[in-house]
């Protein structure tokens, strides 16, 4: 539990600090006075003022914050005479917009960096003509039949398998029908010295293993018909001088892939919320992320780094949405100002942001309740970290 909590706090703090660090650097670049840059949230433990900015360490270890001079309209009027040129609202619309989007940009860059490091070290995903077993789930038809991680799927019945799509389609077509899978096994192959025959539950042909199993029509969540994780992708290593650029390109591709998945998930959540009055079961909130952090920590450094990349994308996408109280909502007010050539009243902006925050808290509460219910049902969260589809 301690490892889970430490990992959760580390990941969350890193994401928020990177986000706020983006605002901080952009504000400094624009000549806006940064009143305070805080690690954690008050009450303060330690604070030191350096060149007009208070750098504070706070007791609540959840991320951090940046407080800019004149960020709130009421505050800007207070300092209008003596500090207007250092105030957030005194800057041009372009400068203010850049400060606002800097946090989201920082999160996108963090995600690209995290994914790029993973690919530089592990290799670049490259499609092959082999469908390989990379995981077998407990108490599944695949495990019961004797399929093992590392097996290469050569055929289903009489159909030769040379790509993942063909395999998945065949398995779906033969739901609740017994199938024969022909496998190549490199390690501990009982058929290594045999041409025909076999043992209990399997047969051999040309040194390959043949097993029989039945795809399920209604498998448990996250397991798929066979309970086996397969892939037709291998991690290819290029010469070391090529890996940084190739890894960066793949990291950027992975980041934008998660942007698409995040937007799709948000669309599904809103659709289910309005149509059924409930959030999707696989939508994770704070409690869900806490549990996922623990699973990632148990899996090791690379799983934690992958989680950082995924959550950084999520934070960036959510923050840039044109919703009150978010960075995207603040951009909407700047667009309003550009179109109508006047700023909205401070009271109006405050009411809108307060209402937006209340709605966000309501949604977070719903998702948290969903998290707790899912935990009580003991669902498997580890599959959320997998990038391979289970079958």
Residue 313 CB-half CA count within 13 A: 25
* 341: helix, strand or coil: coil
**325-330 own/partner pairs: CB under 8 Å, 24+ apart:** 325/353, 325/354, 325/356, 325/357, 325/360, 326/356, 326/360, 327/100, 327/101, 327/103, 327/104, 329/353, 329/356, 330/100
Q: How far apart are CA 8 and CA 304, in angstroms?
A: 10
Which helix (H) or strand (E) covers residue 208, if one does?
Answer: strand 208-213
CB burial of 303-313 (b: ≥16 within 10 Å; e: otherwise) equals bbbbbbbbbbb
Residues contacting 57, CB < 8 A, separation 6+ = 38, 39, 40, 44, 45, 46, 47
| Interatomic CA distance for residues 88 and 34, integer angstroms | 9
CA 209 – CA 202 distance, rounded (Å): 7
Direct distance between the N- and C-terminal alpha carbons of the chain, in angstroms, rounded to an integer: 31
Residue 158 catalytic? Answer: no
**What is the distance, to the nearest Å, from the Cα of residue 238 to the centroid of all Cα atoms in its chain?**
27
Closest CA to 171 of 129, 151, 146, 142: 142
**Vertex 379 angle, CA 151 and 226, to 5°:** 30
Residues 310, 258 contacting (CB under 8 angstroms): yes
Q: Give the whole-angstrom CA distance, residue 280 versus residue 262.
A: 13
For residue 191, give the nearest of 183, 227, 345 by alpha carbon. 183
How far is the C-alpha of 256 from the C-alpha of 88, rounded, in Å?
Answer: 31
Catalytic residue chosen out of the listed positions 20, 36, 250, 349: 20
Residues acting as catalytic residues: 20
């Amino acid at each position: 539990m301690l490892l889970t909590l430490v990992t959760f706090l580390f990941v969350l703090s890193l994401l928020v600090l990177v986000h706020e660090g983006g605002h901080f650097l952009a504000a400094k670049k624009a000549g806006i006075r940064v009143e305070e840059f805080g690690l954690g949230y008050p009450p303060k433990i330690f604070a030191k003022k350096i060149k007009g900015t208070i750098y504070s360490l706070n007791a609540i270890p959840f991320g951090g914050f940046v407080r800019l001079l004149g960020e709130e309209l009421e505050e800007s009027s207070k300092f209008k005479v003596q500090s207007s040129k250092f105030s957030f609202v005194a800057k041009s619309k372009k400068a203010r917009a850049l400060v606002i989007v800097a946090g989201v940009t920082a999160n996108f860059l963090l995600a690209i960096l995290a994914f790029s490091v993973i690919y530089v070290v592990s290799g670049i995903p490259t499609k092959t003509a082999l469908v390989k077993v990379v995981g077998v789930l407990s108490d599944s038809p695949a495990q019961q039949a004797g399929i093992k991680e590392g097996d290469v799927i050569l055929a289903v019945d009489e159909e030769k398998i040379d790509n993942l799509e063909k395999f998945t389609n065949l398995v779906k077509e033969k739901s609740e029908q017994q199938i024969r899978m022909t496998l190549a096994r490199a390690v501990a192959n009982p058929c290594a010295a045999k041409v025909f025959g076999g043992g209990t539950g399997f047969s051999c042909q040309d040194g390959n293993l043949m097993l029989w199993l039945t795809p399920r029509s209604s498998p448990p969540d996250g397991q798929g018909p066979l309970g086996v994780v397969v892939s037709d992708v291998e991690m290819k290593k290029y010469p070391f001088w090529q890996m940084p650029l190739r890894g960066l390109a793949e990291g950027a591709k992975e980041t934008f892939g998660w942007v698409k998945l995040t937007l799709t998930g948000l669309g599904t959540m809103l659709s289910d919320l309005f149509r059924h009055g409930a959030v999707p079961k696989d939508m994770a909130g704070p409690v869900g992320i806490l549990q996922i952090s623990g699973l990632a920590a148990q899996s090791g450094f690379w799983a934690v780094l992958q989680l950082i990349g995924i959550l950084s994308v999520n934070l960036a996408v959510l923050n840039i949405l044109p919703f009150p109280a978010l960075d995207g909502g603040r951009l909407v007010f700047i667009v309003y100002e550009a179109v109508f050539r006047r700023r909205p009243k401070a009271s109006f902006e405050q009411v809108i942001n307060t209402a937006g925050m209340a709605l966000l808290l309501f949604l977070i509460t719903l998702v948290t309740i969903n998290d707790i219910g899912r935990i009580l049902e003991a669902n498997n969260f580890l599959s959320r970290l997998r990038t391979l589809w289970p079958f």
